[in-house]
Amino acid sequence: MPLPRLPGPLPVEVLLMRHGETVWNAEGRLQGAFDSPLTERGRRQAAAMGRILAALRVSPRTHDALSSPQGRAQQTARLALGRTGLVARPEPRLREIGMGEWAGLTRTEIATRWPAPPDEGILTFYARCPGGEDLSAVAERAADLLLSLRRPAVLVTHGLTLRLLAALALGRDWDAAEALCLPQGRVLRLRDGRADIPEPPRTSSDRTRLELGLKGL
């Protein structure tokens, strides 16, 4: 089944963010509709995204903010948006795909009970999850959300949902969603049918390391 098609390029800028690292991410456990809190590293990643948003001059005057209602996304939104003045509105269409019987399990545990076919991609992996949410349903709600945007927006979401949002916004197919992987702590900017990942601003510690490095030349 092909991805839904939007009528054209998004008329507004979208800044996509994945939640920071969680306890279950660190343990290699799939979360889906389940939740676990951010780790210290995850909180640093959220703060780093906040610095990127501040450098992009994001504010309530310029952007709306929407977040998955799941705890890890809400926590990330609060930490990242603090210096922008934005408060994220919970948006159920941004929630992560339901993982059915695999929620809470590691990939090793899954591979033991449900052996994978050779060269399995990430979308095929999600598609064969017993009792999980259908990929096409996630794509439909993602497309519905994008079509509802009237202003530039910051969207705080999850790994699989973010892949589909980006592919849809760019008018691409499942292969593009398969290939896309945004690191936690970075922001994906979508505008005029193109995508880029803005560089984070240098922190004082970055500048100190650079100065020390230059002194050694």
In the chain, the amino acid numbered 165 is: L
Quick check: is 19 catalytic?
Answer: yes
CB atoms inside a 10 Å sphere around CB 210: 11
Distance separating alpha carbons of residues 216 and 105, to the nearest angstrom: 48
Establish how many alpha carbons lie within 13 A of residue 83's alpha carbon, considering only the half-sphere containing its beta carbon. Answer: 13
Nearest to 80 by CA among 55, 102, 101, 99: 55
Structure tokens at 41: 């590293």
Q: Which of the residues 21, 91, 96, 133 is marked catalytic?
A: 96
Please pick, among 19, 21, 133, 158, the residue that the annotation labels catalytic. 19
* Those residues with Cβ within 8 angstroms of residue 26's Cβ, 6 or more apart along the chain or in another chain: 39, 41
Catalytic site residues?
19, 96
